[in-house]
């Protein structure tokens, strides 16, 4: 069995390493990379961005990744973007093995092999596992927790371990970590309701309560941050639009396996023993289709169930022989081809290269411009400078009630001090009036001053495409440097 586990791990690892590159950090990656850097520099266990507490995610992901970077960074010959993403790659390969062990426990050896191979080669799982995000670690804890709970009949230690992993899932991504317990409840509702009423199960849930308690104790503002997330971010303002957009992205990153899975879910809906559970897994995991997206990494929990239904169609009641494995590998290659297209569309973007170049260009300068939600340039400037604290003052200005032109007037008239970096907030926290937070949902939505001459010098590179045609446009804000 160990040889089989090793082979599945190596296959999943190779597929992910194929896409592991030094592409500039994309959106949330840039935020997390800066948090990791500040955690290493400052030694604080509390996540910080630009010296301010970053309460939008629990700290466990940053502890794990910063420990990895701290341990291997000094000796690694890899580009730092690759090094920061490497834990996600390793976790993704481990998750492929966990899928095998879960399906083997529930369904049997043959379906377990195919499900693991399909999980390994699904474009969405590979794409997420090559990025610096919280979701690879979350997926690991969710799958590990469910596997341990499946072994509940083998002793209390497995139940306790399942609860521990569920707590760690919460400590990784707060409410999203509860998906582990949802799977356990769904499974035992069908195949052993008595377990859900046992003292052992109830005791194991204490880890979840402990995880939430630690989050709120360790991270100031986490309680109100999660209140905002649960009311404003989980469901988009225009459900029809967000659902359609999320669905398009989801289809693009899961075909052809999603088509097979839906066919399998329909064909075997009344024939096989565990179909109701896998179908419920699909339903429970489909919530991100309604989020204020498209945040494709939210769909990762769906992939194991998709892999199972796809594997059932391939097996068609038979065994996992050479022909079925070849068929899966062939479709995996097709899926990877789709991934190349998605990779080019979402990550390999000239704007990301421009933002990285802009950040490096502005290193050592006392001013910076970022338009809308674009932390990439800010990260590369911070990294090139070595420390954001080189600036005299870090200004946080609340403009949650201002439009772009009003914000421009506010900042220009307030004349930021020389050598300062001004960040405009996008939201004033509703539960803490008067306290200013970082923009968006406590995430930086920066308009940071860049001198006109520097802007004109850099404009030909197209960094500001989409933000306005000139520095007078109200879509972004430009400040004069010093007294110029």
pLDDT at 395 over 90: no
pLDDT at 288 over 90: no
Go through the chain and tell me how many residues it has.
Answer: 484
- How far is residue 427's CA from residue 242's CA, in Å, rounded to a whole number? 21
Predicted TM-score (pTM) of the model is 0.81
Domain spans of the chain, in order of start: 2-346, 350-461
Position 314 scores a pLDDT of 86
pLDDT at 141 over 60: yes
pLDDT at 55 over 90: no
Give residue 136's pLDDT band: very low, low, confident or very high (50, 70, 90).
very high
- How far is residue 148's CA from residue 183's CA, in Å, rounded to a whole number? 12
Q: Read off the pLDDT of residues 309-337 as tens digits, 9 standing for 90 and up.
A: 999 888 876 676 777 778 887 877 777 77
Higher-confidence residue: 146 or 446?
A: 146
Position 399 scores a pLDDT of 34
The answer to whether the beta carbons of residues 125 and 14 sit under 8 Å apart is no
* The token pair that represents 358 in the structure block: 């802009």
Structure-derived torsion over alpha carbons of residues 77, 78, 84, 87, reported in degrees to the nearest 10: -90
pLDDT at 189 over 90: yes
Q: Read off the pLDDT of residues 81-130 as tens digits, 9 standing for 90 and up.
A: 999 999 999 999 999 999 999 999 999 999 999 999 999 989 899 989 99
* The token pair that represents 147 in the structure block: 């596997």
Q: Do β-strands 394-398 and 421-425 pair in parallel, antiparallel, or remain unpaired?
A: parallel
| Burial letters 116-145, b for 16+ CB under 10 A, else e | bbbbbbbbbbbbbbbbbbbbbbbbbbbbbb
pLDDT at 372 over 70: no
Position 269 scores a pLDDT of 66
DSSP annotation string for 62-83: HHHHHHHHHHHGGG--S-HHHH
């Amino acid at each position: 069995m160990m040889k089989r586990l090793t082979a599945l791990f190596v296959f999943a690892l190779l597929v992910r390493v194929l896409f592991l590159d030094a592409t500039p950090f994309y959106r949330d990656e840039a935020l997390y990379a800066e948090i990791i850097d500040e955690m290493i520099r400052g030694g604080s266990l509390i996540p910080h961005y630009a010296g301010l507490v970053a309460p939008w995610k629990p700290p466990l992901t940053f502890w794990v990744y910063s420990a990895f970077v701290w341990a291997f960074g000094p000796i690694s010959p890899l580009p730092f973007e690759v090094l920061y993403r490497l834990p996600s790659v390793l976790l993704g390969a481990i998750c492929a093995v966990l899928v095998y062990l879960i399906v083997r426990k529930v369904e049997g050896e043959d379906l377990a092999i195919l499900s693991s191979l399909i999980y390994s080669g699904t474009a969405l799982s590979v794409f997420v596992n090559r990025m610096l995000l919280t979701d690879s670690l979350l997926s690991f804890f969710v799958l590990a927790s469910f596997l341990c709970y499946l072994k509940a009949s083998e002793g209390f230690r497995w139940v306790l371990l399942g609860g521990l992993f569920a707590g760690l899932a919460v400590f990784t991504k707060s409410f999203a970590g509860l998906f582990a317990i949802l799977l356990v409840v769904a499974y035992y509702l069908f195949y052993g309701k008595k377990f859900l009423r046992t003292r052992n199960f109830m005791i194991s849930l204490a880890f979840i309560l402990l995880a939430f308690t630690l989050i709120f104790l360790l991270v100031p503002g986490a309680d109100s941050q999660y209140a905002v997330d649960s009311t404003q971010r989980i469901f988009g303002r225009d459900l029809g639009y967000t659902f359609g957009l999320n669905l398009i992205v989801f289809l693009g990153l899961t075909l052809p396996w999603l088509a097979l899975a839906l066919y399998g879910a329909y064909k075997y809906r009344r024939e096989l023993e565990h179909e109701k559970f896998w179908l419920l897994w699909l339903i429970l995991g489909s919530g991100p289709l309604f989020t204020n997206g498209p945040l494709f990494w939210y769909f990762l929990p769906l992939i194991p169930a998709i892999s199972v239904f796809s594997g059932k169609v391939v097996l068609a009641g038979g065994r996992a022989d050479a022909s079925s494995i070849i068929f899966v590998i062939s479709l995996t290659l097709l899926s990877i081809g789709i991934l190349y297209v998605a990779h080019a569309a979402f990550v390999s973007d000239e704007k990301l290269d421009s933002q990285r170049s802009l950040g490096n260009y502005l290193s050592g300068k006392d001013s910076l411009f970022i338009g809308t939600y674009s932390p990439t340039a800010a990260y590369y400037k911070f990294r090139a400078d070595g420390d954001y604290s080189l600036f005299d003052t870090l200004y946080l200005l609340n403009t949650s009630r201002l439009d772009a032109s009003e914000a421009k007037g506010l900042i220009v008239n307030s004349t930021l001090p020389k050598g300062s970096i001004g960040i405009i907030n996008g939201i004033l926290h509703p539960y803490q009036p008067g306290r200013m937070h970082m923009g968006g949902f406590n995430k930086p939505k920066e308009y940071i001053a860049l001198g006109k001459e520097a802007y004109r010098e850099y404009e030909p590179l197209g960094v500001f495409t989409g933000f306005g045609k000139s520095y007078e446009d109200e879509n972004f804000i430009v400040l004069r440097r010093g007294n110029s």
